[in-house]
Structure 1
Amino acid sequence: MSSYIITCKPTATDDEVQAVKDHAQKQGGTIGHEYSLIKGFAVTFPKDTVHSLDTHPHVDNVEADKEVTTQ
């Protein structure tokens, strides 16, 4: 499974954020956590799935979800 953090543009409306989530699900993604401090969510795709979220007009950033540590 490939997991990503999707951040929508700060100007995106609630309906536009929902449109991004719908787009992700239509491409085989499963929405995980939905963030409240940012307009974004986590999505998991089956292995070897190709998605086009980075070209969606309401998406600001697509980043691979990975473990982060502090030192």
Structure 2
Amino acid sequence: MPGNTVMITLKEGASPGELENAKKTAIDQGGKIVHESKLIKSIQVEFPEDKVHTLSTNDQYTVEADQTVSTQ
């Protein structure tokens, strides 16, 4: 059963430690980190369908549904 995948990206001015905080919170809430980008300071996290995360309540990063991007 596929889960819900979200992208978590640090906002400008956020401390580097915030990415570690996001990773810890995601794992503590049942998420699995499937990709990490140090260049844009972001992680891609998959959550099981039955899990709810609270990551979007942190004002140091942006949380959005992961989706395919195209340059057409």
The answer to whether structure 1 residue 6 and structure 2 residue 8 are counterparts is yes
Give the structure 2 partner of residue 67 of structure 1.
68
2:43 maps to which residue?
A: 41
AA at the equivalent of 1:56: N
Cα distance, 1:14 vs structure 2: 2.5
What secondary structure does 2:69 align onto?
coil
1:18 is aligned, of 11, 20, 31, to: 20
Aligned length: 70
**Distance between the aligned counterparts of 1:47 and 1:16, measured in 2?**
25
Supply the AA of the counterpart residue of 1:70: T
**TM-score where L is the length of structure 1:** 0.84
Secondary structure at the aligned position of 1:41 is classed as strand
Q: What TM-score, normalized by structure 2, do the two folds share?
A: 0.83
Q: Which amino acid aligns with 2:49?
A: K
Q: Return 5+ residue gaps in structure 1 as ranges.
A: none
Task: Give identity over the alignment, percent.
Answer: 44
Segments of structure 2 that go 5 or more residues without pairing to the other structure are: none
